[in-house]
C-alpha cells in the first residue's frame, strides 16, 4: 500500500489530513508541521501517523512513496524539488509555485526522475465544474463567447500572496479544464488598500483564442460573499452560483440571433428567452476524488488531470497578470494608498 506524507497542517492541510487518513486504499504514514503540540494531538486523533517537525524526516524515509505539500506558496518549489530529488511522487497545493521558472524546473525534474507531479486544483473534481464541462464539451452551450467570474468576500487576507494568486487559480483552472486553451492576452488592474499590504481587489480580463473573453472580479473586501461564474454560449448560457445550495447550476435556454437586413448594412437582433433548467449536481467530496486520483495516477491507473504542465499553465497566467498589475501600479505612480490618505488604514497608534 502507498505510504504518503503530508507537509503542512494549515487550513487546507487539515482537510488533507482528514481525507488522506480516510482513504482506505493508501496509508498516511507521516505529517510534518512546526506547531509545538503536533505530536500530542496527532497521537490522540491519528495514533498510527508519525509526527515530525522537520521535512528531512520524511524526505529521507525510504518507506514514504509520495509527499503532499500544503504549505505557503513561497515554499512549494523547494519542498517539491526536495521530494522529487528524494524519489517521491508529489502533490502540491495550488498554485503550483511562485513562478514559471520554478514550475518549469519542477516539471523537468519530475520527467527526469520518472515521478508524478500533480497540483491540487480541487475544483476540477467538483460536481458543478464537471457538469459545466459536460455542457461545454458536448456542445450544448454552442460556441462559447464569454466566461465571467465574481469571486469576492470579506477577508481571509493571505500573508504571502495577493488576491490574484489566492483566488484566480480557481477560475483559471476551470477555464483551462473547460476550454483547454491559454490566454493570448492578459490585462490586470487592482488596488491595495492597506499600507504594506498586497493587492486586495483585482480585475483580470483575459482574451482566449476562438473569440472567448474571460473576466475575473476578485476581492477580499466585499461584505457579501459571491461565488458566481457565468458562461455565455451561442446556444445556451450557464450560471454556477456556488452559494446556491438548492440550484447551484442553471442553464438558460436564452440567446441572441442576428438577422441580416435587405440592405446588408445592419443586423437586426432577436432575443430568445426560454426556460431555465437546473440539473441535479451531486457527487462525492472533491478532495476525496483528488486524493484518490493522485493514488491512481501513481499506480498508473489514470492519466493525471492536473499534472505539472497544467499547473504551469496556471502559474504562467498568474505571472502575466502580476506583471500587468505591477505595470499598472507603476503607471499610476502609486503602490496603493498614500501615507496620510489610506482609505482603511491600519490602526497604528
Q: Which of residues 164-193 bind its own copies (CB under 8 A)?
A: 184-185, 187, 189-191, 193
Cross-strand pairs, 187: 205
Q: In terms of CB distance, is 111 or 266 closer to its own copies?
A: 266
Residue 239: count of CB within 10 angstroms of its CB: 20
- Residues numbered 98-137 forming contacts with its own copies, rule: CB under 8 A: none
Angle between helices 100-113 and 308-331 (to 10 degrees): 170
- Residues numbered 254-273 forming contacts with its own copies, rule: CB under 8 A: 254-260, 265-267, 269, 271, 273
* Residue 325 C-beta: closest distance to its own copies, Å: 11
Cell numbers found for residue 230: 457565468
Helix (H, G, I), strand (E, B) or coil at 81: helix
Does 343 interact with its own copies (rule: CB under 8 A)?
A: yes
Residue 278: count of CB within 10 angstroms of its CB: 13
Q: In terms of CB distance, is 12 or 146 closer to its own copies?
A: 146
Q: Among residues 34, 74, 332, 335, which is the contact residue for its own copies, using CB under 8 A?
A: 332
Q: In terms of CB distance, is 114 or 331 closer to its own copies?
A: 331
Does 74 interact with its own copies (rule: CB under 8 A)?
A: no
Q: Which long-range contacts (CB under 8 A, 24 or more apart) does 252-257 make?
A: 252/276, 253/277, 255/142
Q: In terms of CB distance, is 116 or 322 closer to its own copies?
A: 322
CA angle 93, 7, 110 (to 5 degrees): 60
Sole window of 62-70, 104-112, 279-287, 288-296 interacting with its own copies (rule: CB under 8 A)? 279-287
Checking DSSP bridges between strand 89-93 and strand 117-120, what pairing results, if any?
parallel
Q: What x/- string results for residues 299 through 328 when contact with its own copies is judged by CB under 8 A?
A: -----------------------------x
| 256, HSE (Cβ side, Cα atoms, 13 Å) | 7
Q: In terms of CB distance, is 133 or 309 closer to its own copies?
A: 133
* Residue 286 C-beta: closest distance to its own copies, Å: 19
Amino acid at each position: 500500500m502507498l505510504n504518503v506524507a503530508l507537509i503542512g497542517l494549515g487550513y487546507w492541510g487539515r482537510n488533507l489530513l482528514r481525507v488522506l487518513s480516510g482513504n482506505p486504499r493508501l496509508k498516511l504514514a507521516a505529517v510534518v508541521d512546526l506547531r509545538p503540540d503536533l505530536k500530542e494531538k496527532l497521537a490522540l486523533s491519528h495514533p498510527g501517523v508519525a509526527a515530525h517537525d522537520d521535512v528531512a524526516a520524511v524526505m529521507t524515509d525510504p518507506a514514504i512513496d509520495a509527499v503532499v505539500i500544503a504549505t505557503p506558496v513561497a515554499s512549494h518549489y523547494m519542498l517539491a524539488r526536495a521530494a522529487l530529488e528524494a524519489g517521491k511522487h508529489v502533490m502540491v497545493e495550488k498554485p503550483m509555485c511562485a513562478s514559471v521558472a520554478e514550475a518549469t524546473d519542477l516539471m523537468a525534474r519530475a520527467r527526469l526522475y520518472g515521478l508524478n507531479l500533480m497540483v491540487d486544483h480541487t475544483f476540477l473534481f467538483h460536481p458543478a465544474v464537471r457538469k459545466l464541462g459536460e455542457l461545454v464539451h458536448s456542445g450544448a452551450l454552442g460556441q462559447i463567447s464569454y466566461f465571467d467570474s465574481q469571486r469576492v468576500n470579506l477577508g481571509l487576507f493571505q500573508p504571502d500572496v495577493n488576491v490574484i494568486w489566492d483566488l484566480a487559480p480557481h477560475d483559471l483552472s476551470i477555464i483551462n479544464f473547460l476550454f483547454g486553451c491559454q490566454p493570448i492576452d492578459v490585462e490586470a488592474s487592482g488596488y491595495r488598500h492597506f499600507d504594506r499590504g498586497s493587492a486586495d481587489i483585482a480585475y483580470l480580463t483575459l482574451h482566449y483564442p476562438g473569440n472567448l473573453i474571460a473576466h475575473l472580479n476578485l476581492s477580499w473586501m466585499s461584505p457579501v460573499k459571491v461565488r458566481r461564474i457565468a458562461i455565455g454560449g451561442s446556444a445556451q448560457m450557464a450560471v454556477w452560483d456556488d452559494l446556491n445550495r438548492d440550484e447551484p447550476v442553471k442553464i438558460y435556454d436564452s440567446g441572441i440571433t442576428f438577422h441580416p437586413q435587405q440592405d446588408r448594412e445592419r443586423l437586426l437582433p432577436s432575443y430568445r428567452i426560454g426556460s431555465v433548467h437546473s440539473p441535479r449536481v451531486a457527487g462525492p467530496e472533491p478532495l476525496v476524488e483528488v486524493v484518490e486520483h493522485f493514488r491512481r495516477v501513481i499506480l498508473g491507473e489514470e492519466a493525471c488531470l492536473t499534472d505539472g504542465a497544467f499547473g504551469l499553465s496556471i502559474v504562467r497566467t498568474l505571472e502575466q497578470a502580476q506583471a500587468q498589475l505591477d505595470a499598472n501600479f507603476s503607471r499610476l505612480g502609486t503602490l496603493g494608498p498614500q501615507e496620510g490618505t489610506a482609505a482603511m488604514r491600519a490602526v497604528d497608534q
